[in-house]
């Protein structure tokens, strides 16, 4: 595999507060990478830095051969990085189909709606329902589908299981696995449910107070006694 995303020793700040310290990570093509850590570890700042919402003071970010640090978020999105935020941020007053059509207006190329319906049959059934009328799981599916309309190379998911019932979470993770396996889209996954994340991921990174303190295969994380005790709860 070849690197799709390369993050090399980035340092990010909020004002004078140093948040990320020489953070480095890689996402290969057709790979799922889990970014783990407790609340306050720096995961959200990492995602904001990747999206251009926070500009690193040093370091380098390369997406599929293009340097992205210093670019505006819309320019980074145009290069193929799409974020599904924890808040989902769908348009509640618009229907499912209208949310998707609106997302695809600025995308070249973009996913056709039929491709979305094949991946998310539940959304096909709810295509005329307003965003506010959807369940939490359906809203998460719509948020992911909306990002896929932009034909991303890398899909970044921020806490996709947040606030969802276990059965719904299982369905969401099956969809993510299908996106990687059948649509060949790489995924960077930030997820508090470390057990689920490691079941899906190929590789993992562990953040602690802004530092990457461990990295390796998802299996090595699951087999590490210290990581199991501290982060996996067994």
pLDDT in tens, 19-71: 999 999 999 999 999 999 988 899 999 999 999 999 999 999 999 999 999 89
- What span, in angstroms and rounded, lies between the C-alpha atoms of 147 and 154? 10
Q: With contact defined as beta carbons under 8 Å apart, do 194 and 23 qualify?
A: no
β pairing state of 32-36 and 186-190: parallel
Among 130, 151, 172, the domain-final residue is 151
Q: Which parts of the chain have pLDDT scores under 50?
A: 1
- What span, in angstroms and rounded, lies between the C-alpha atoms of 142 and 94? 12
φ, ψ dihedrals at 225, nearest 5°: -60, -40
**Domains in the chain, number:** 2
Which pLDDT belongs to residue 23?
98
Show the domain range for 172: 3-80+152-232
Shared-domain flag, residues 102 and 207: no
Among 151, 182, 197, the domain-final residue is 151
- What span, in angstroms and rounded, lies between the C-alpha atoms of 19 and 93? 37
Shared-domain flag, residues 159 and 220: yes
Which pLDDT belongs to residue 105?
84
């Amino acid at each position: 595999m070849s690197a799709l995303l390369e993050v090399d020793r980035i340092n990010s700040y909020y004002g004078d507060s140093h948040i990320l310290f020489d953070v480095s990570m890689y996402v290969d093509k057709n790979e799922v990478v889990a970014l783990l850590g407790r609340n306050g570890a720096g995961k959200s700042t990492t995602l904001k830095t990747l999206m251009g919402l926070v500009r690193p003071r040093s370091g380098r970010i390369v997406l599929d051969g293009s340097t992205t640090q210093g670019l505006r978020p819309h320019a980074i999105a145009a290069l193929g990085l799409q974020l599904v935020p924890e808040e989902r941020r769908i348009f509640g007053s618009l229907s499912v189909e209208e949310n998707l059509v609106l997302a695809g207006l600025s995308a070249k190329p973009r996913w056709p709606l039929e491709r979305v319906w094949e991946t998310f049959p539940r959304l096909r059934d709810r295509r005329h329902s307003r965003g506010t009328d959807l369940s939490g799981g359906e809203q998460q599916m719509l948020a992911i589908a909306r990002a896929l309309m932009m034909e991303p190379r890398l899909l970044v998911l921020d806490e996709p299981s947040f606030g969802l019932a276990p059965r719904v979470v299982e369905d969401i993770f099956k969809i993510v696995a299908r996106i990687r396996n059948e649509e060949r889209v790489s995924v960077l996954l930030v997820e508090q449910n470390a057990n689920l994340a490691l079941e899906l991921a190929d590789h993992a990174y562990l953040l602690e107070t802004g530092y990457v303190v461990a990295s390796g295969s998802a299996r090595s994380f699951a087999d590490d006694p210290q990581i199991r005790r501290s982060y996996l709860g067994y």
